[in-house]
Structure 1
Amino acid sequence: MAEEARAVREEELSPVAEAAPVTARRPVRADLEKHIPKPYLARALVAPDVYHPGGSKEGGHQHRQRSVLQQHVAFFDMDGDGVIYPWETYQGLRALGFNMIVSVVFAMAIHASLSYTTLHSWVPSLLFPIYIDNIHRAKHGSDTATYDTEGRVASKAEWMLLYMLAKDEEGNLPREAIRRCFDGSLFEFIADERRQAHGKRQ
């Protein structure tokens, strides 16, 4: 009886359903608990993977008690005041290597679509600020549910932008780039890399 119950339990935990062959072709890791404590738990402060169970530590990235979504956008807060203005987003995009026209268009689109939902009042601001503490309110319909409604790690245009920004020389998007994008440490890394490359040219 105990063996029968154990067999039923193992079957219930199987990541493969025989009637759905795709589940065998796209296997799910069953060893995450060996690498990441409580892998099913949504993380508020870090974006872990099996190689970085504590999230990003490279380059001095610190979470500063911000949600992963807040960390993701904080790169663009150039003066560190908790508010991102369109000109700061423009500066951040330029630091990431986007040209002037793309940076202006993206900054305008980002602030026009996200600003109002992050404001502390119902009165719109003509400066189109994005308040980092309310960024969880700006989740939008094209999101892929990478972040949950509170801004923890859990958009199609954003994926294309990430691909343009972080693809390798073979045209692939590395796993590490994706993980680091979630907490914003990828932006810090790319901006530092570009600063160092620019310094070597002079």
Structure 2
Amino acid sequence: MAIRRQPWAFSSLHLPLATALLFVWMFGWGHAMAHTDTANMTALQKHVSFFDRNKDGIITPSETFEGSVAIGFSVAYAREFASLVHGANGPITSPADAPLPHLSIYIENMYKGMHGSDTGAFDAKGRFVPQKFEEIFIKHAKTRRDGLTHSEVEEMILANRDPLDPESWEGPEIEWGGIYKLARDSDGFLHKDDARGIYDGSVFVKLEEKRASSQGVM
């Protein structure tokens, strides 16, 4: 069934089966250990490793939920986001001998979860491609060179859509839309360094620290 495009992907993500499986996993199943060479991670592996809260090389749905709340998503959105991400990437990245129902994401195999309609700043193995990242700002940062407005991020997402792969359209909406909402400044700009941090996961660390600091002040 086609998914109707909604502004910034903060519409409800209706995935009742995946959500049910998520909570069965969170309160029922465990998982095996995996080896990840952190010193030689690709940018894509670094991008997702923030959500590997216990650093065992495997990201469970509950860890994605926890990490999503930690960077500022609401509980409801974090639950649905974790369901979507793990429903799509768990089966793809799980080795054949991994415990069922294959909802955990294995960082070592994260490249298998690459999707279309993206910026090209990850290559096929998940390595960062600086030239493609720079193209984002050369082509779309029209108001100021080191930041993107709401409309410029949307323009970039639309420009990268693969018309032959409509199933890949939702991913960039969720990824870029979510980070824009959390990381934009008071003038509505997503700064270039924060956009760069999407690719190696450093923006997630920054957002978690910002949220923790604001909660500590309150």
Normalised by the shorter chain, which TM-score bucket?
Answer: 0.5 to 0.7
2-side partners of 1:92 and 1:167: how far apart? 19
Question: Does structure 2 retain, via aligned residues, the 8 Å contact 1:116–1:124?
Answer: no
Aligned to 1:100: 75
Q: For residues 124 and 117 of structure 1, do their structure 2 counterparts lie closer, same or farther at Cα, with a shift above 3 Å needed?
A: farther
Q: What stretches of structure 2 of length at least 5 have no aligned partner?
A: 1-37, 130-170
C-alpha displacement of 1:138:
0.5
3-state DSSP of counterpart to 2:40 = coil
Residue 149 of structure 1: SS of its match in structure 2?
coil
Shift of 1:121: 1.3
1:64-103 equivalences under 5 Å are 64-103=39-78
1:28-67, aligned counterparts within 5 Å? Answer: 64-67=39-42
The alignment status of 1:119 with 2:94, answered yes or no, reads: yes
- Which residue of structure 2 lines up, in the alignment, with residue 167 of structure 1? 184
The answer for the alignment partner of 1:54 in structure 2 is none
Q: Is the 8 A contact 1:72 1:185 kept in 2?
A: yes
2:47·2:201 contact (CA, 8 Å) conserved in 1? yes
Between the aligned residues of both structures, percent identity stands at: 35
- 2:116 pairs with 1:141: yes
* CA shift for structure 1 position 142: 3.3
Shift of 1:159: 1.6
User: How far has the Cα of 1:64 moved from its partner?
Assistant: 2.7
Structure 1, residues 107-148: CA drift from partner, whole Å, max 9, x if none?
A: 000000111111111778325000001001100123332211
**Structure number, greater radius of gyration:** 1
2:195 and 2:88 map into 1 onto residues whose CA distance is: 23
Instruction: Kindly state the Cα deviation for residue 94 of structure 1 after the two structures are TM-superposed.
Output: 0.2
What are the residue-to-residue correspondences of 1:147-162 with 2, within 5 Å?
147-154=122-129, 155-157=171-173, 158-162=175-179
**Which residue of structure 1 aligns with residue 212 of structure 2?**
195
Structure 1, unpaired ranges of 5+? 1-62
Paired with 2:95 and 2:102, the residues of 1 have a C-alpha distance of 14
Q: Which one-letter code corresponds to 2:128 in the other structure?
A: V
- How much is the aligned-residue C-alpha RMSD, in angstroms? 1.7
Following TM superposition, where does structure 1 have runs of at least 4 consecutive aligned residues deviating by more than 4 angstroms? none
